[in-house]
Chains A and B, each alone.
Chain A
Amino acid sequence: MMKIELRFYATLVKYAEKNEIPQFSFVEIEEGATIASLLNKFNILEKHVHIAMVNGRSVESNQGLQDGDRVALFPPVGGG
């Protein structure tokens, strides 16, 4: 198992609530996990996640995760 920091933003905070975890928390996931498998584990619909960032870089859903990664999930956001 490995530990990552999982951060939900904007409308995706509802998924933290559904999983009964805080908006920002450290969670345990399987070795070899990807963004896609992470979303699956927490029952997060992939279509709701417009941007997934790992350590501040936007990634695709097949991105592999490492122990200690900071993962942030966003719906479509913009402004200026």
Chain B
Amino acid sequence: MSKIVRVNLTKKEVKLEDVPKKYDGLGGRGFTSTVVAAEVNPLCNPLGKENKLVIAPGLLGGTNCPNSGRVSFGAKSPLTGGIKESNVGGTLGVRLAKLQIEGIIIEGKAKDGESYVLFVNKDGATLKPSNELKNDLVYNAVEKLRAKYGEKVAVACIGPAGEAKMAAANISVTDIDGVPTRQAGRGGLGAVMGSKGIKAIVVDGTDAPGVNIKDKDSFNKAAKIFADTLKKDSISGEGLPLYGTAILINILNEAGALPTKNFSSGRFEEANNIGGETMREIILKRKGNPTHPCSPGCIINCSNVYKLEDGTEITGGFEYESIWALGANCGIGDLDIIARLNRLCDDIGLDTIEMGDTIGVAMEAGIVSFGDGEGAINLLKEAEKGSPLGKIVGSGCTCLGKVYGIERVPQVKGQGMPAYDPRATKGTGVTYATSPMGADHTAGYVIAMEIAGCGGKVDPLDPKGKAELSKAFQVATAATDCTGLCLFVAFATLTDERANPAVVDMLNAMYGLELTGDDVTKLGKKVLRTERDFNKRAGFTKAHDRLPLFMTKEKLPPHNTVFDVSNEDLDSVHED
């Protein structure tokens, strides 16, 4: 029987609750966004006791469906002031699902200076004082927690940035090797966790009952077909395992859409030095691992283990977004420096995308120069120390831009933009503008068609039809985010007609339902409406669904285009 773990930090109380009908059958982002919308006052301070941090595995989590291990974190975001869902791989989602926990709701607030670990196992959950972990870097804290609770536990942990309630703080989750290389990065949810007084969540899956599947034969049959579609797809079956997500650096650079030096150009001269091809060569030479699964049941293996020249295992899950953010966007063309920056972000507990945007704006402000790797490292160390400059850095690019009077700040709803310049990938620009999450590529990954030519080719520079396309992607993604499936299954679902029906068949077999593809689309729409409604109640209007004005005026080389999707088109995304 599924249950909800409700933890109140004001009362130091932990309860196991039955899942009420209104929250049943949602999963992942559906669960977190529905709970946040129902239980959190949209006008609350995101760091106050009225906010809640909600955690939920997906509907297919804990099963043998491949790539179904994502777990969603949700709350009102201290970065955007709107609703936030950030999902992550690693082992946490699978462990929670196998313990039959549909969601964890963390509410209230501990007294200042108190620090707790939430320990979850087959018998329930308990709060344990954890003063010994205070201000520990994430890798250190995780090592201590695994020594204390066992090597097989899944850990979600914040760093000093989360404890200091910085608006760009993330939540790190351990991968299959117990290393905290996976991050629920976006929107400052680490600060919400820190505000509650929770340093870490430790989940011990020993003797977990496992998930219930009503019709195992049908489920297994559909899971096998789904696995076959992922393996046969040339992107999820070949490109991603070989080169990781950093394979995208060169193609975005060629397409003139790789944001460079704080979004001032779409091409970076040193792109190939930081691309997936070069990264693979370096990893193989230094005996790291270029092909690594972050989560149990992952058959795509886009993650990796990256070593420095002296053999130090500096970072893992070294991804396109992080490499772009801390590399091209800062004018840094040295993978080893970017790896060190990535590790610092993961250790301090800061979102790599937001930090790349922030350091880019700091470089534009002249605090350090473009290309100055050591200068960038020092900025992050200021954040670790919690100095006044460090706190500004840890608060994200919008904050730093305001403090230093910079106009070119790449953000929507206060959240820094990911690795696709919207002036050269206009469908993705529509997603940035209109997603309830703020500038977020994963919310509607039109890049699949605009750049990868997956499921059809569209011209990324043409504004026509992009609102419609972004909307379709946003709806499909919202539904996918309920299932626990990794976004990268999309390459198969866009091209192999067997993939989507297999997902629907698995949901039906597991829960004894008779859903159709249309029902899944409806679920996606419902989640988006719920999120949009929360934002409206929090004070968001159409004016918030816009890119920064400079992107409609300032031409981006090499194509010299501006973002010219009309406001009417942008508003059409949420018309029904």
Contacts and interface: CB of A to CB of B under 8 A. Distances in A.
A10 B242 CA distance: 9
B248 A80 contact: yes
Contacts of A55: 558
Given A74-B251, A77-B248, A79-B320, A50 B243 contact: no
Contact of A9 (B250, B441, B447, B487): B250
Kindly name the residue among A10, A24, A55 whose own CB sees the greatest number of chain B CB atoms within 10 A: A10
B256 interface: yes
Interface in A1-29: 7, 9-11, 13, 23-24
B248 A79 contact: yes
A76 B250 CA distance: 13
B430 interface: no
A50 B254 contact: no
Interface stretch (B133-141, B232-240, B330-338, B512-520): B232-240
Given A9-B250, A56-B256, A74-B251, A80 B321 contact: yes
B559 to A, nearest CB: 6
A58 interface: yes
Nearest to B239: A77
Interface residues of A, number: 22
A78 B256 contact: no
Contact of B234 (A24, A57, A76): A76
Given A10-B247, A56-B254, A79 B240 contact: yes
Interface string A54-80: 011110000000000000101111111
A64 B530 CA distance: 50
Interface string A27-71: 000000000000000000000001101011110000000000000
Kindly name the residue among B239, B244, B254 whose own CB sees the greatest number of chain A CB atoms within 10 A: B254
A80 B250 CA distance: 13
A78 B254 contact: no
Nearest to B257: A56
A13 B457 CA distance: 23
Interface string B466-491: 00000000000000000000011001
Contacts of B558: 55-56
Contacts of A74: 250-251, 254
B523 interface: no
Contacts of B277: 9-10, 13
A38 to B, nearest CB: 16
Nearest to A54: B254
Contact of B247 (A24, A50, A53, A79): A79
Contact of B276 (A7, A10, A24, A57): A10
Contact of A50 (B245, B250, B453): B453
The 7 closest A-B pairs by CB, nearest first: A79-B245, A76-B234, A78-B235, A78-B452, A56-B256, A72-B254, A77-B247
Interface of A: 7, 9-11, 13, 23-24, 50-51, 53, 55-58, 72, 74-80
20 contacts: A9-B251, A10-B239, A10-B276, A10-B277, A51-B453, A53-B254, A56-B256, A58-B457, A72-B251, A75-B234, A77-B243, A77-B251, A78-B239, A78-B448, A78-B488, A79-B239, A79-B240, A80-B245, A80-B320, A80-B441
